[in-house]
Homo-oligomer: A and B are copies of this chain.
Amino acid sequence: MEKINGLHSFKELSALFEERFNRRHFPLEPQQLYEASQYLLTVKGKRIRPVMCLMGNELFDAIKEDTYHVATAIELFHNFTLVHDDIMDRAPLRRGIETVHKKFGESTALLAGDVMLVVAYEYLNKISTEYIHRVLKLFNTIAKQVCEGQQMDMDFEKITDVNFEDYVKMIGLKTSVLLAGSLQLGAILGGAGLGNQQHIYEFGKNLGIAFQIQDDYLDAFGDPEKFGKKPGGDIMANKKTFLLLQALKVASTGQQEELKDLLLQDDESKIVRVLNIYKSCNIDEWAKQLKQKYFSVALKHLGEIAVRSIRKKPLEELANYLMERDV
C-alpha cells in the first residue's frame, strides 16, 4: 500500500508500533513471574489491535504520543487474555510455541496475566489528563466485555443447542469488541466527535464478526495449501462455530442426528462426514453471504464517518486485506 496524504499503511504502522513495543515491559525480579509475563510478547505478531488504535487516531489527526501508550496497553491486554484463556482451555500451544502455563506452570501464568493487565494500566496512566477519564472508561468497558464473552463461550461448551443470536453476541464480546474499541480509543485521541466514534466502533465490530465467520469458513473449506494447515480443526475439537450452529438448524432430521452423533466421536474420519453435511446444506454459501452481510454493514459505517474519504483508504485496505485473507 502506498502512502496517502501522509497517512500510514497498516504495514508501516505495524513496523512503527513493533519498534516501540519491542522492549522489556517488566522489571527483572522475581525472575519467573516477569519472564512469564514477557514471554508471549516477544513473539512478533501482526499487532492488529494496537495498529487499529493508531489507525483510529490517524483517520482524524496526526498520531499522538498518547496513542502509542494506549496501543501498548491494548496489546498487553490482548496478551493477558490469551494467557488466561490458554489456562482455561488447557491449550498446549500458542503462536507456535508452548503456552505460558505449559512453560512456567499454571500459578505463575495466572499471576503473569494479572501483572500484564496491571502494566497495561500503567501505560494508560501515561496519557494526558485531558483524555484519561474517557480512555479508561472505554478500556474498562471493553475489558469487562471480553471477560463476558469468554464466560459465554465456556457456558456454550456445556450446551448443544446454542441460540444463534446468543452466539453472535458471544463472538462480538469475545473478539470484535476489542477490535472496535481499539479503533474508537484511537479516534478519541484523534479528536473525533461522538458520532464519528460510534461509526468507527461499529465498523470494527462488524468487521470483527465478518472476520470470525471467515475464520470458521476457512477452517472448514479453506485450501489446505494456502491455509497452511489441515482443514477441520474446529470439527475435531467439537468447537461451536457459525457453520455448525447453522447446520444444526437447517439440516434434515437425519443429518441433525448424524451431526450430534459425530460430535461425540474422536475419530479423524468425522471431518469428512461433517463437511459433507455442511456442503449438502450449502453452509459454505450461507457463510460467505453472512460474512458479506457483516462486511457490508462495516463498510457502511466507515462510509458514514465525516472525514475526507481519502483518509479512509488505509482502513478500507485493512478491511479488504482481512476479508480477502486466504493464508
Task: Answer whether residue A284 sits at the interface, using C-beta atoms and an 8 A cutoff.
Answer: no
Residue of B nearest to A118 (CB): B143
Residue of B nearest to A132 (CB): B132
B143 touches A136 (CB 8 A): no
Task: Answer whether residue A76 sits at the interface, using C-beta atoms and an 8 A cutoff.
Answer: no
Chain A residues with CB under 8 Å of chain B are 29-30, 32-33, 84, 87-88, 106-108, 110-111, 113-115, 117-119, 121-122, 124-125, 129, 132-133, 136-137, 140, 143-144, 147-148, 150-152, 154-155
The interface residues of chain B lying within 8 Å CB-to-CB of A110 are: 84, 87-88, 110
The interface residues of chain B lying within 8 Å CB-to-CB of A132 are: 129, 132-133
The interface residues of chain B lying within 8 Å CB-to-CB of A143 are: 118
Most chain B CB atoms below 10 A, which of A110, A137, A152? A110
Residue of B nearest to A124 (CB): B136
Report the separation of the CA atoms of residues A124 and B32 in the bound assembly, to the nearest whole angstrom: 30
Residue of B nearest to A157 (CB): B107
**A118-B147, A144-B119 given as contacts; is B125 within 8 A of A111 (CB)?**
no
